[in-house]
Each structure stands twice: as C-alpha cells, then as structure tokens.
Amino acid sequence: MTERPYEVLARFGADGKVAGVSVRHITAVNGKEYEGDPQPLSGTGDPAFSEFAEAFSAAVVAERDTLATDKTTLTQ
C-alpha cells in the first residue's frame, strides 16, 4: 500500500483569510487507486504539504520556462 497527496483544499473565512487547509490522498492497494477523504493539514511542517509544495513549484517553473520559450519563438 502506498499513499501520496494529490489535492490541497483551502477554506476561507468570512474575513477573506485562510480558515483551514486539508489534504486529500490517493492510496494505491494492489494496483488500484482510492481517493481518501480530506484530512486537516497540521501545518507547513506536514510532509504532505512539503511534497505538494515541491511538486507545485516544479510545475510552475516548467510552465514559466515553456512560456518564455514560446514568447521567444513567437517574437522572432
């Protein structure tokens, strides 16, 4: 059985500030994947938060680099 975070859910309060954050996991059992229920995130030290933050950061950097290349190609 393996588990990986795949979704971070942020809840906002009436004042517009973040009121809570939960993370959902995918659990693989014998080759089948199951979606878990949202679990409260314990904070930025939570391993799920760190894993999600690293993946999100890598995706944003890749998207930025692709857009920069596209811009260069289009302006030539």
Instruction: State the pLDDT at residue 16.
Output: 84
pLDDT in tens, 7-58: 888 888 888 887 888 888 899 999 999 999 988 877 667 777 777 778 778 8
Asked whether the predicted pLDDT for residue 3 surpasses 80, the reply is yes
Instruction: State the pLDDT at residue 56.
Output: 78
- 10 Å CB burial of residue 5 (0-12, 13-18, 19+) is buried
